[in-house]
Chain A
Amino acid sequence: MAETRTIVIDPVTRIEGHSKITLHLDEHGKVADARFHVTQFRGFEKFCEGRPFTEMPSLMARICGICPVSHLIASAKACDALLAVKIPPAAEKLRRLFGNAQVVQSHALSLFHLSSPDLLLGMDADPAESHLFGVYARNPALARDGIALRKFGQQIIERLGGKRIHPAWVVPGGVSEPLSQEDRDAILKTVPEARAIAARSLDWLRSATERFHEEISVFGNFPSLFMGLVKKDGELTFYDGHLRLADENGQEIAGGLDPARYFEYLGEKVEPWSYLKSAYYLPNGYPSGIYRVGPLARLNVCTTCGTPLADKALADFRALQPGAVLSSFYYHQARLVETLYCVERIEQLLNDPEILTKHVRALANVNALEGVGVAEAPRGTLFHHYRINEQGLIQWVNLIIATGQNNLAMNRSVLEVAQHYVQGEKITRGMLNRVEAVIRAYDPCLSCSTHALGQMALKVQLVSPDGLVVDEICRR
């Protein structure tokens, strides 16, 4: 019998959702394969059938407590398509503002609350101290900055939508309430601090990253495609635009793609060992059509950010590597560049007098039976696709979430890290931490991507060729 083993990491911690990792070892004790299993299931696509489409934005927002705004926006855009209306310009600007605030708070959560313990305390730190309180003990200013940045985004969401989590403010045809001058002024006052935090966090991250040369070289450092929405001129955008795919050299391989026709160039594959589907670029086939989405991908495909500070930060980012920036370790830095961009955009939008216009909603009946809404969520491109009957009741739903699109890349990254760090049959703490950390770099949201319920945890199993679990670590 061939001597092979499997290592299982179950559950994976400090991520959003429930998963486990298995590492399959060959007879020489080398990692032959790695699988990132998402073990939760929810079924949003199914239970929405029969509901009036006007409920969809709020229903869809319930997929996630961290990025409900992204689901609201993508869903409302799909509903706009069902109404076949062009929403009022002020409504569009308010939605952009809302979306930018959401990116700031979500990126702050990912970087500071979930990943900063790895970056500040190191990959070999004791898990008992690897959390935000551990960060606070070592560097209180950093922890405070992270919390303040998230608060900045959350409070904008609350001012616009009435509450921080699951606001119902984004509706088919626009938004339900205009922005008051008082709220506009109050938000504007908080912008300078957020901008300063984003800028100094970027400086901190750049210096903190210096000691992670080894990790950078193996944390998902491989050629792949990158995909994201860009404006006509190639500028970064989170709300609308065309899809652009770039290769590992940063060269555009497909541009000007209509996001509403996603099914013509994106496929989804189901693997029996995970509830999370894997998306791929159809022309290249499966699994060669591997592509990445999210902050790293967006900065690799866009031409410019379009705001002064973010463009400067983008230039520094681009200098990391010729061509596209390949290491998924740099998702963290890309996240902060985008945060800076969003804070600047928020200020620009608030200073636009049109943002206070009272006409914020287009009213219409059902005018189309199929609608697609696409937006950039913090973790990547988000697709909502609905079909309804003449009465406006949902008949069919398809959702493609960022984490599903990063699934192939996450699996490959775990393999890369495991091959580098796993030696023999014993699971070491450093290896466990690094396998988790590479998953965390993608900031996966498993609740979103399986449209499922779950809890955060990590379990790793080492399995022999004959299926025996030879070692196991469980962390809750």
Chain B
Amino acid sequence: MSATGAVRTLKIDGRDCSARPQATILEVARENKIFIPRLCQLEGLSTVGACRLCLVEVKGSNKLLPACTTTVDEGMEITTSSEELASYRRMIVELLFTEGNHICSVCVSNGHCELQTMAQRLGVTHIHLPYRYPKKQVDASHERFVLDHNRCVLCTRCVRVCDEIEGAHTWDLMGRGIDSKVITDLNQPWGSSESCTSCGKCVQVCPTGALFEKGRSVAEMEKRRQFLPYLTLMRGERT
């Protein structure tokens, strides 16, 4: 076996783990049933390291590294949970809540939302920062789906699934920093997009209620993502 094909051995939270070369810390942790929070990463899609929730401590590194994009090295010693990490992660989730208008009680995804579940899991009980209450729009021009910018956390799962799986690349990002937003085609109403195939994959991968099926009432939007690994597999075999 060549050196590149050799199994890597490392420690996650003091546990000895083995991994394939090029595997990410997040993949290895998942194989070993070690929980690392994440919002932007989704199995079957490429990784972008956007949400920063999966930051972990790596011995010898003076900065925190995102587990979803960092590949393992021989002898790595990784810490996935510490007081400091927990506090950073809570802060990230709090910032997401203050940045948009996330009103769980009247959201279509209430009870089925990854942001909500993450906040609960990380012990976010209060938001310590002032809410920004930005004025954001709802795009309901599509026949079957609705985009509510108020609930978007800019994870870009919609952008990636549309590009990588459906091959349409209807979605993209525009603006910078706090003004960033997801757009369809060249920032035109979704309903008038010529590239959208109305497949609905973006809706199913969206972690919050930002993308949902039209006609859904509060707490009724449950996302189905089981299809994603199969589509990725089929696509992999085709290329």
Residue contact B138 to A54, C-beta cutoff 8 Å: no
Tell which of B140, B217, B220 touches A393, judged by Cβ atoms closer than 8 Å. Answer: B140
Residue contact A176 to B220, C-beta cutoff 8 Å: yes
Which residues between 47 and 96 of chain A lie within 8 Å of chain B, taking CB atoms? 50-52, 54-55, 57-59, 62
A176: chain B residues at CB < 8 Å are: 217, 220
A189 CB to closest chain B CB (Å) equals: 29
A52: chain B residues at CB < 8 Å are: 138, 140, 146, 148, 214
Tell which of A55, A57, A393 touches B108, judged by Cβ atoms closer than 8 Å. Answer: A55
Residue contact A55 to B137, C-beta cutoff 8 Å: no
Q: Answer whether residue A113 sits at the interface, using C-beta atoms and an 8 A cutoff.
A: no
Residue contact A50 to B215, C-beta cutoff 8 Å: no
**Closest chain A residue to B136, Cβ basis:** A50
Q: Answer whether residue B105 sits at the interface, using C-beta atoms and an 8 A cutoff.
A: yes
B219: chain A residues at CB < 8 Å are: 58, 168
What is the CA–CA distance of A55 and B110 in the complex, to the nearest angstrom? 12
Chain B: residues with Cβ within 8 Å of the partner, total of 18
Residue contact A391 to B140, C-beta cutoff 8 Å: yes
Q: Answer whether residue A251 sits at the interface, using C-beta atoms and an 8 A cutoff.
A: no
Categorize the interface residue count of chain A. 10 to 19
Provide 11 A-B residue pairs closer than 8 Å at the C-beta atoms, listed in order of the A residue.
A52-B138, A55-B106, A62-B106, A166-B105, A168-B110, A168-B218, A168-B220, A176-B220, A391-B141, A391-B191, A392-B214
Q: Answer whether residue B216 sits at the interface, using C-beta atoms and an 8 A cutoff.
A: yes
Which residues between 156 and 193 of chain A lie within 8 Å of chain B, taking CB atoms? 166, 168, 171-172, 176
What is the CA–CA distance of A59 and B217 in the complex, to the nearest angstrom? 10
What is the CA–CA distance of A394 and B219 in the complex, to the nearest angstrom? 19
Residue contact B138 to A62, C-beta cutoff 8 Å: no
0/1 string, A355-375, CB within 8 A of B gives 1: 000000001010000000000
A365: chain B residues at CB < 8 Å are: 214-215
Residue contact B217 to A54, C-beta cutoff 8 Å: yes
A172: chain B residues at CB < 8 Å are: 215, 217
Which residues between 198 and 219 of chain B lie within 8 Å of chain A, taking CB atoms? 214-219
Residue contact A55 to B215, C-beta cutoff 8 Å: no
Which residues between 135 and 170 of chain B lie within 8 Å of chain A, taking CB atoms? 137-138, 140-141, 146, 148
Residue contact A54 to B216, C-beta cutoff 8 Å: yes
B138: chain A residues at CB < 8 Å are: 50-52, 393
A59: chain B residues at CB < 8 Å are: 106, 218
Known contacts A52-B146, A166-B105; is-contact A58 B137 (Cβ 8 Å): no
What is the CA–CA distance of A59 and B101 in the complex, to the nearest angstrom? 14
What is the CA–CA distance of A59 and B104 in the complex, to the nearest angstrom? 11
**Closest chain B residue to A168, Cβ basis:** B218
What is the CA–CA distance of A59 and B105 in the complex, to the nearest angstrom? 8
Q: How many A-B residue pairs have CB under 8 A?
A: 50
A248 CB to closest chain B CB (Å) equals: 43
0/1 string, B109-145, CB within 8 A of A gives 1: 0100000000000000000000000000110110000
**Closest chain A residue to B218, Cβ basis:** A58
What is the CA–CA distance of A393 and B148 in the complex, to the nearest angstrom? 11
Residue contact A50 to B137, C-beta cutoff 8 Å: yes
What is the CA–CA distance of A50 and B140 in the complex, to the nearest angstrom? 10
What is the CA–CA distance of A57 and B220 in the complex, to the nearest angstrom? 13
B108: chain A residues at CB < 8 Å are: 54-55
What is the CA–CA distance of A171 and B138 in the complex, to the nearest angstrom? 20
Interface centre among B191, B215, B216, B219, by most A CB within 10 Å? B215
B56 CB to closest chain A CB (Å) equals: 38
Residue contact A171 to B217, C-beta cutoff 8 Å: yes
A418 CB to closest chain B CB (Å) equals: 41
B181 CB to closest chain A CB (Å) equals: 16
What is the CA–CA distance of A58 and B215 in the complex, to the nearest angstrom? 14
Besides A52-B214, A58-B218, 9 other A-B contacts (C-beta < 8 A)? A50-B137, A50-B138, A52-B148, A54-B108, A55-B218, A168-B218, A168-B219, A172-B217, A365-B215
Residue contact A392 to B106, C-beta cutoff 8 Å: no
B106: chain A residues at CB < 8 Å are: 55, 58-59, 62
Tell which of A51, A54, A168 touches B215, judged by Cβ atoms closer than 8 Å. Answer: A54
What is the CA–CA distance of A100 and B141 in the complex, to the nearest angstrom? 38
What is the CA–CA distance of A54 and B218 in the complex, to the nearest angstrom? 8
What is the CA–CA distance of A473 and B137 in the complex, to the nearest angstrom? 48
**Closest chain A residue to B142, Cβ basis:** A391
B46 CB to closest chain A CB (Å) equals: 31
**Closest chain A residue to B108, Cβ basis:** A55
Known contacts A52-B146, A62-B105, A62-B106; is-contact A168 B140 (Cβ 8 Å): no
Residue contact A168 to B141, C-beta cutoff 8 Å: no
0/1 string, A440-469, CB within 8 A of B gives 1: 000000000000000000000000000000
What is the CA–CA distance of A51 and B106 in the complex, to the nearest angstrom? 11
0/1 string, A27-54, CB within 8 A of B gives 1: 0000000000000000000000011101
B135 CB to closest chain A CB (Å) equals: 9
The list of the 10 closest CB pairs from A to B, nearest first, reads: A58-B218, A391-B140, A171-B217, A168-B218, A59-B106, A168-B219, A54-B217, A58-B106, A393-B140, A392-B140
**Closest chain B residue to A48, Cβ basis:** B106
B148 CB to closest chain A CB (Å) equals: 8
A168: chain B residues at CB < 8 Å are: 110, 217-220
What is the CA–CA distance of A391 and B139 in the complex, to the nearest angstrom? 9
**Closest chain B residue to A393, Cβ basis:** B140
B101 CB to closest chain A CB (Å) equals: 10
Interface centre among B105, B214, B217, by most A CB within 10 Å? B217
What is the CA–CA distance of A55 and B215 in the complex, to the nearest angstrom? 9
A62: chain B residues at CB < 8 Å are: 105-106
